[in-house]
Structure 1
Amino acid sequence: MAQLEHANITVSDSKATAAWLCEVFGWRIRWQGPAMQTGFTVHVGTDQGYLALFSHAGAKPSREDSYRTVGGLNHVAVFTDDIDAVEDRVRAAGFTPGNHASYAPGRRFYFDDSDGIEWEVASHQQ
């Protein structure tokens, strides 16, 4: 069986994004340094997997609807055992949780970060 190791996402500031990911999700920086095309990358996550956050001075925000763009990133989902605590940290980081919903067997909510990346937080908590 194959296992997802990482995904690579372009962000406006890889260090700033990594900082709030560590604060909100309890992740850690696994590696950081110069990257291709004179950019900078931070690997942030857990021992099992991570996100490679790439930033480059010439990167521009997408104006396309990711759900209507082949190859678009629709959202990144994380799972937690304490959804209420994560939601509190999302708010403390300056983001607005929304689209709350219950599903079998738990709850979820979404928020957009400062780069317009949509995040889903899910839990088996009722």
Structure 2
Amino acid sequence: MSAARLEHANVTVSDPKATAAWLGDVFGWHIRWQGPALNNGFTVHVGTDDAYVALYSPGNAQPGRDNSYATIGGLNHIAVFTDDIDSVESRVKSAGFTPTNHNDYEPGRRFYFDDSDGIEWEVASHQR
């Protein structure tokens, strides 16, 4: 049996176009599709040719109030992998975000940052 692969994740954001713009700048991703969505909302699919994040807004979304790590079904973070973690960290800073929680792990390094919607992103690399 062949293993399934993750194609996309769908998250609610305040402004899909603005989020897609910084994701493109920071991670080098491109917009795959954008248009009208459920409940008179708008969605932008941004990522690579193989996988993407669907950024959805119904136009009246409210900020989360719960700690996702303590909420069943909560989104804890979205992780990306890079071959050049230092360059990505520089772009994260240039986008106005603050990298935190730098750690070495086997076999590389990682850090985290929160975006303007409070979504936590993990950046990992096999670089030492």
> Match for residue 25 of structure 1?
27
Partner SS for 2:60: coil
Report how far residue 56 of structure 1 moved.
1.8
Q: Structure 1 segments of 4 or more deviating over 2 A?
A: none
Report how far residue 25 of structure 1 moved.
0.2
- What per-residue deviation string (whole Å, max 9, x for no partner) do you get for residues 22-74 of structure 1? 00000000000010100000000011110100012211011100001111000
Superposed CA RMSD = 0.5
Q: Which runs of 5+ in 2 are unaligned?
A: none
Task: Say whether residues 1:112 and 2:111 are aligned partners.
Answer: no
Identity value in percent? 74
> Match for residue 91 of structure 1?
93
Normalising by structure 2, we get a TM-score of 0.97
Q: Which runs of 5+ in 1 are unaligned?
A: none
After superposition, where does 1:55-70 map in structure 2 within 5 Å? 55-70=57-72
Give distance in 1, aligned partners of 2:19 and 2:94.
14
Normalising by structure 1, we get a TM-score of 0.99
Give distance in 1, aligned partners of 2:68 and 2:94.
27
Amino acid of the residue matched to residue 22 of structure 1?
Answer: G
